[in-house]
Structure 1
């Protein structure tokens, strides 16, 4: 076995980050004189002032000269950063150098030309101090300039005039200045009352003016404000951090905030602030000498800071303004600026974001380590759990409890058995304790002990499965194991998806975090927390299921992502190797492989096919084969969709999955004849008669006889009743509309009864597109006496049903469109535009023809970029080609949409001819291309 290692205890770091005190000309990304040559610009500026010039003229000349110098300097910095894309630290210093020069010269102009003071009194002293990030010497291209104008006593008219003139010039220079005018006494008092002010003062830096006054501020802050209040400051900064994380979202959200998000620059800056406050140094490398960080941990600090600052600088430059959210529209350009390129299977932007999330994770690890050292020094309160419970939980031999966290009693004994690297996480789940960062460090330093021998050890396999199955909250252990590298060490095939981002608007998390979220959703079902929301899944779990198979399948379902090959096929191949290695029996491993290979099958069938068509259910039942597989796949599908992100799961998807499950189970248990169309039609007619007791037998016979068989099995009884009422007294020139909320499906159902004619589906789709409705499902049927009955399920722009108060206006607008008062295509143009953040996505178009998925229709599936007018363009193209559309199913995945149409040709036949298919496909592609051009214009 490889010799165990303990974390390095060396006291010196090879790499040292620049500090707030080293803003020197040789620490910039370009020569200081090229960025802002202060002596030369000063000489040129003062030589430019005419004798006897008025204040307005002097300010105007100053602004013009400094604006020219600023623009030159900014271009020099931007060019240098383009050459050295990761030279962010020196870039932030360069922007600070440039800003310092402008601030100093505006002060000199104000004091030497505009408000000259021949004999200054003791009170007429003024010192200009940089505070906050500017004081620290870290500025992104469009960072704020925070200034403190320091006076010894109450501000004098002279100082007020100088400050006012400086600010006018700086505002004219488009500098975003935040400023305050205070005495030393004010700074101490306000810093004691407001932690934000205190933090800004912590990073103050003298710029120009009265130096002794600035020195006095230094001493008074240290002695009268900072000393003795370390614990108060630390607690305030940590509370501020928690609040910020809650507001910004988790570390693995795919559009992170580089500055404020979890694992972002503000978290690193919090470590810097606390270091300076507690240890009285602004050199973070001191944390190595103090024993807080090991050298390799500090190296992570440096690399994370370097990467995050580079990303922020490039983000500002790409946007041309102070943007902090790394949105989809900016990610591609920032990735290109930082040198990331596309590779087989993955785009450069995805490689860039994977690095981003890895650095964000490192920041979280460093924060935990740092806070532990503060607890040990009593600068931070112990965890809340330890304060709430006096009695410590009893832990197994080899473990102990330190500051309320699970710790290792003896490092050498622990490392003597490599299975303890898994046992630590099991004990944490059993006791409910958080793991002590020192224990985490020991694990991280000894990942090499997790070798093939351990992976194939039955006890180790059992320990891992117990983490999934035994304690009821496996996501807690998996997330920590993933962050520390244990999960990838024990399952090496998992490593490629760690921090992997999928560049689309559908997935909200990285692939590894999505996997853990999915497992968490299964645990929630098992704990009975979502019984009302997920009755079928809860019922399946209660009825008994192979939990080992299901948890393993969820863990591995996306493990094949990020390669050239279909991730389901590759994932199944990987599962074939990994499942036995996790201790599953051959039959169980085979089921896991099948589930991974087909983990999208139920979702696709439910969302992309017409589940009212018996053939859909029959084909799905043949693919699933057994009730056991159906149960497993159903729960997996539900967890997978729910784990995509907040609000992805809704009643619409729930209704589709539920209906497909129940029909398929019935077919598997009672035989395929249970899906017979005629049986379902007979039952539907009986239900209609029972629901209309006031109708005469003649009226009932007429209604029952006017529809073809597909109508009866394609709609629910509630729709049958609506159409019966609409058709009862309809005339050929009427358009009858019923709009009603369908609460079970999170949608609004719109029923149309209208005289049948070619292209009716397209007309209806155009009317709905014009009012801004998103169609999620649609059915059209023709009656024997020449009418069309169409049911559309729609949602508003936010993916929600229309509120009852909006329905009357919606109905009026639809009616006007259908009566020809508005031409849909022309009116839709203004609505059919892509948002800026959507334009970065590449969505290839795929069009397929399937003649086997339905007994009487050809299924045309169009997979392309979503946009408001797409459905209308597609249906209008089909109408002009004499294609009859019976139904449409729309499945949206962020910026991608799959529109599935059940169609016949003008003779009522399927599209068997390859030449006809190719001709129609070309027309559809042309319509999509034209629409995309319009949307991007």
Structure 2
């Protein structure tokens, strides 16, 4: 195998000129004395060659193959010059013996001729027998030259016998030699090594090699997260990356001795179209890798957030309505990763079948057993297949039918049939989309009882999903450039549908008891599955995806066969699929107006049930670690309050009953100390009893009574709150202005992040403030030393022993991925969300001590904070405050709002570059919908 011809080779490296310059240096001072000058010549040649290839990449930023081959050519030429210099000038031998011969073999990726600017160089030095002292000297001298150039070299020195023996013993060595390419030196020795490899090592080991490569691939996928849709993919080793393409080539070459990927067509392993897909994906990934190495100035294969922007810019991706350049770049990346997944799936499944050794008895029984057929489709080994190559061409509706049968019967679709479906997906046209039977079959898959997630993913991989539902095709591989969303829109949607199915089957009872119970009692089951399918269908269209998605639902649902009521219900669910999470996480659920507004939009129990389930699967499908017990409790609390309101009607009846019921529950939890409930009846109003969970009240009351009995002016309690995976911090003190921001700053100095805060001032002027705290990784403080540190920091802050502002300023900001994102600050004033308070919602880039700065600004603006609700969506912090002025009135004056807004923007910008702001006045729920990234 040889490298493709490189255009304008001498511009990359002129070997004759370089060799001539080295010869001149040797002639002038001798080989040993000229060594440093020779290294300088080689280093200049390497640098100028890299610069030439970098400029070519800049001119043609998608020329992945050309650049990869160009860097391999550059290294080839350098090594050849070094070899000739060492053999002729450093260790010259007039008449070499038969043992004084060396073949240089490029192996691994270098042997394949695919190198990024800073790839490792893998070389095998092969000798006829045990290396002579001359061979060892030559090899050592060459390596020192390569190391002096700053190159990372993986090398081996072996005899012909050792090459064969070690390749038989070690799959890794075998794989490297599989891609061996003659580089320089003794051609006969190389030919002998290649012949022995193919004649002595490969025969009889084909099945073993394939099995090892498949196991290696699976282990690598698991190590890298086992998903093509991770937010910072590894383009080499990640799922859908270059290594998956290499695996195809390795196996094809090992089994069929192909010299390049194109020959896989002749072997029936690729169609012409699939080969073009292979080359396009490979070329794109090689180009991206070259850009990564160029930007980093070193070997770098991870597409981190900061790299994504730069690579998108270098590859000339432009902004389009609703999509930034980096989002368009990453969408194309994920499309290529998806194509790689399809190619590897079909290719390797086909090879697994080819290499599976079947016994004579198994063959006999298989031949005697009649083939099973379902509705004309043959089934063998749990896989359903198309009976003929033109099966789908005769009736394109069958492209839906086979997946519907597979879901209903719990069968896999044969890889060959997946390949046929992918080939024939273009047959799905407007007539097929309007076909009643086709739409009924699609709904059977979508709302299947067995495993709709897996089957929908097969449909998506085959291209059938996006062809049948073009709106879904538009979000195929679409990502959102943020730290909150872990998956592309299509993958998130399919995962959400899978979660809905698992909840319905009772498989997630422990994690989602509320949704599991509700799923048993819903009337509009199909409508719910369709709503999950469509809830993000309009992302990337340059507007509010909830509103645009609701319009899509009105158009798509009738086509799918839903009646008018179901269509309107799906449209409403899509339009308001963020309403419940926004209310639960950003509003005070103890405020009657919050519940009244929410119920006023929901209006009925069935819509509430459906919206609750949709909200849960939407959040859970965002990615690992996004769903937690805190969110579960808030959603359950909102659901319970809404049910009570819907059933009891007027808020007064429900409010009194809730307070009484909660007091009874607290008495039960307190046991022998139940009298505390009545002892403190004159200290806490109904708002406290409604706002706090009964288990928190059961912690607060003994704490409060103990502080009262001791006459403490300040009492701090910290404990691990297992139910919510956080630490509960309770501060009891005489209420005074600035109490909140001082506590918030102290918690931050102790290394904590506040995820929720409830602030209460009793009738006797004593503040009882409850904070839920986690560490920067989202874990609770639970060790005694951690709890003591929290308590001590708050004590010192409130006692004035800490100068808060300079202490926070000195605290180093941790370097996090969030620093690669910038959220334009958005301050929204909402006087309609509460009867008593102005609700201020702050959207900003999440940073340490942000809450302290915001609450200090409110203190300086003479505002009283009644409650705070803190939510993080990746790099975005959304902090909501219920406030009044010092007289207990709302902030109704626009001039006053402007002053508060300016103070908050200044607090956000402290220590960071100024950012643009947008403002909402007297907004109702949903005015800032585009700032809401949940799900």
Per the shorter chain, which TM-score range? over 0.9
Q: Following superposition of structure 1 onto structure 2, how do residues 767-846 of structure 1 map, counting pairs within 5 Å? A: 767-805=746-784, 806-829=786-809, 831=811, 833=813, 835=815, 837-846=817-826
Partner of 1:671: 649
Q: In the TM superposition, what are the counterparts of 1:377-526 in structure 2 within 5 Å?
A: 378-380=354-356, 394-401=372-379, 405-412=383-390, 414-526=392-504
Is contact 2:726-2:779 (8 Å) kept?
A: yes
Which segment is superposed worse, 367-376 or 287-296?
Answer: 367-376
Measured after TM superposition, the shift of residue 398 of structure 1 is 2.6
Any conservation in 2 of the 1:773–1:796 contact (CA below 8 Å)?
yes
Residue 812 of structure 1 aligns to a residue whose secondary structure is helix
Equivalent in 39, 61, 78 of residue 54 of structure 2: 78
| Structural mapping, 1:563-642, within 5 Å | 563-642=541-620
Whether 1:342 and 2:323 are equivalent positions in the alignment is: no
Q: Residues 662 and 107 (structure 1 numbering): CA distance in 2 closer, same or farther, change over 3 Å?
A: same
Deviation at 1:677? 4.6
Query: Are residues 656 and 121 of structure 1, via their aligned partners in 2, closer, same or farther at CA, if it must alter by over 3 Å?
Result: same
Choose from 890, 893, 917 the match for 2:873: 893
- The structure 2 residue matched to 1:117, chosen from 83, 93, 105, is 93
What secondary structure is seen at the aligned counterpart in 2 of 1:739?
strand
CA distance in 1, matches of 2:652, 2:829: 28
Residue 556 and residue 265 in structure 1: after superposition, are their counterparts in 2 closer, same or farther (change >3 A)? same
Cα shift at 1:735: 2.8
Q: Distance in 1 between matches of 2:474 and 2:816?
A: 31
CA contact (8 A) 1:863 1:896 kept: yes
User: Could you say which residue in structure 1 is the equivalent of 2:161?
Assistant: 185
Residue 582 of structure 1, CA deviation: 0.6
Ranked by relative contact order (alpha carbons within 8 Å, sequence separation 6 or more), the top structure is: 1
Give SS of 1:251's match: coil
What displacement does 1:353 show?
A: 0.9
Tell me, in whole angstroms, the C-alpha distance in 1 between the residues paired with 2:65 and 2:666.
74
2:71 paired with 1:95:
yes
How far the C-alpha of 1:66 sits from its partner, in A, is: 1.2
Q: Which runs of 5+ in 1 are unaligned?
A: 1-19
- Deviation, 1:287, is 2.1
Maintained 8 Å contact 2:118/2:293: yes
Contact 1:776 1:891 in 2 (8 A): yes
| Equivalent of residue 216 in structure 1, options 164, 167, 192 | 192
- Other-structure match for 1:912: 892
Q: 2:112 aligns with which of 136, 146, 153?
A: 136
- CA distance in structure 1 between the aligned counterparts of 2:810 and 2:152, rounded to whole angstroms: 36
Q: Which residue does the alignment assign to 2:260?
A: 283
1:263 paired residue among 240, 247, 250? 240
Q: Work out whether residues 652 and 746 of structure 1, in 8 Å CA contact, stay in contact via their aligned partners in 2.
A: yes
Does the C-alpha gap of structure 1 residues 348 and 381 become closer, same or farther in structure 2, counting only changes over 3 Å? farther
SS at match of 2:355: coil
| 2:627 equivalent to 1:649 | yes
- Aligned match of 1:550: 528
- Provide the secondary structure at the position in 1 that maps to 2:83: helix
Q: Could you say if the C-alpha distance between residues 821 and 154 of structure 1 is closer, same or farther in structure 2, counting changes exceeding 3 Å?
A: farther
Do the aligned residues in 1 keep the contact of 2:104 with 2:182 (CA within 8 Å)? yes
Shift, 1:907, TM fit: 1.4
Give the secondary structure class of the aligned counterpart of 1:868: coil
2:773 partner SS: strand
Displacement after TM superposition at 1:34 (Å): 1.6
Q: 1:772-801 deviations in whole A, cap 9, x for unaligned? A: 211110011223333322110011111122
Partner of 2:508: 530
- Contact in 2 for aligned 1:328/1:837 (Cα 8 Å): yes
Q: Is the 8 A contact 1:392 1:401 kept in 2?
A: no
Cα distance between partner residues in 2 of 1:374 and 1:890: 53
Change (3 A) 1:912 1:168: same
Query: Which residue in 2 is equivalent to 1:747?
Result: 726
Structure 2 CA distance for partners of 1:691 and 1:88, relative to 1, 3 Å: closer
2:374 counterpart SS class: coil
Contact 1:626 1:668 in 2 (8 A): yes
**Alpha-carbon distance between aligned partners in 1 of 2:71 and 2:595, rounded to the nearest angstrom:** 64
The verdict on how the C-alpha distance between 1:725 and 1:484 changes in structure 2, with shifts beyond 3 A counting, is same
Partner of 2:929: none
| 1:408 aligned counterpart, secondary structure | coil
Counterparts of 1:110-259 in structure 2 under 5 Å?
Answer: 110-248=86-224, 249-259=226-236
Q: Aligned with 1:645: secondary structure?
A: coil
Say if 1:382 and 1:471 are closer, same or farther in 2 by CA, change over 3 A.
farther
Q: Distance in 2 between matches of 1:475 and 1:930?
A: 46
Report the secondary structure of 2:912's partner residue. Answer: helix
1:42 is aligned, of 9, 12, 19, to 19
Are residues 718 and 811 of structure 1, via their aligned partners in 2, closer, same or farther at CA, if it must alter by over 3 Å? same
Q: Using the TM superposition, give the Cα deviation of residue 592 of structure 1 relative to its aligned residue in structure 2, in angstroms.
A: 0.5
Q: Distance in 2 between matches of 1:405 and 1:392?
A: 15
- For the 8 Å contact 1:293–1:369, the answer to whether it is kept is no
Deviation string 1:320-376 (CA, Å, 9 cap, x unpaired) is 221112121211111111110112211011111111111111112222332355356
Distance, in Å, in 2 between the alignment partners of 1:270 and 1:382 is: 24
In 2, Cα distance between equivalents of 1:750 and 1:621: 32
Whether contact under 8 Å (1:858, 1:910) holds in the other structure is yes
Deviations 1:908-929 (A, max 9, x none): 1110111101111111112112
Distance 1:796 1:175, change over 3 A: same
Other-structure match for 2:331 = 354
Task: Report the 3-state secondary structure (helix = DSSP H, G, I; strand = E; otherwise coil) of the residue aligned with 1:446.
Answer: helix
2:735 alignment partner in structure 1:
756
Q: State how far apart, in whole Å, the 2-side matches of 1:69 and 1:413 are.
A: 59
In structure 2, distance between residues paired with 1:340 and 1:850: 39
Tell me, yes or no, if the aligned pair for 2:372 and 2:380 is still in contact at 8 Å: no
Q: Distance in 2 between matches of 1:441 and 1:226?
A: 29
Contact 1:618 1:672 in 2 (8 A): no
**Structure 1, 80-89 or 417-426: larger mean CA deviation:** 417-426
Q: TM (normalized to structure 1)?
A: 0.92
Corresponding residue SS for 2:372: coil
RMSD: 2.5
Instruction: Tell me if the contact between 1:329 and 1:838 (Cα under 8 Å) persists in the aligned partners.
Output: no
Over residues 659-705 of structure 1, what are the superposed CA-to-partner deviations in whole Å (9 max), with x where a residue is unaligned? 111111121112233675555445555666676676798x8766322
Is the CA contact 1:328–1:838 (under 8 Å) kept in the aligned structure 2?
no
Tell me the distance in 2 between the aligned counterparts of 1:934 and 1:703.
49
CA distance in 2, matches of 1:58, 1:120: 25
| Contact 1:393–1:431 (8 Å) recurs in 2 | no
**Residues 48-63 of structure 1 aligned to structure 2 (within 5 Å):** 48-49=25-26, 53=30, 55=32, 57-63=33-39
Rounded Cα–Cα distance in structure 2 between residues aligned with 1:227 and 1:777: 66
| Pick aligned residue for 1:715 from 692, 698, 713 | 692
SS at structure 2 position matched to 1:779: strand
Aligned CA distance change for structure 1 residues 392 and 799 (closer, same or farther; 3 Å): farther
CA distance in 2, matches of 1:766, 1:65: 59
Q: Distance in 2 between matches of 1:564 and 1:495?
A: 17
Structure 1 residues 227 and 617, CA gap change in structure 2 (3 angstroms): same
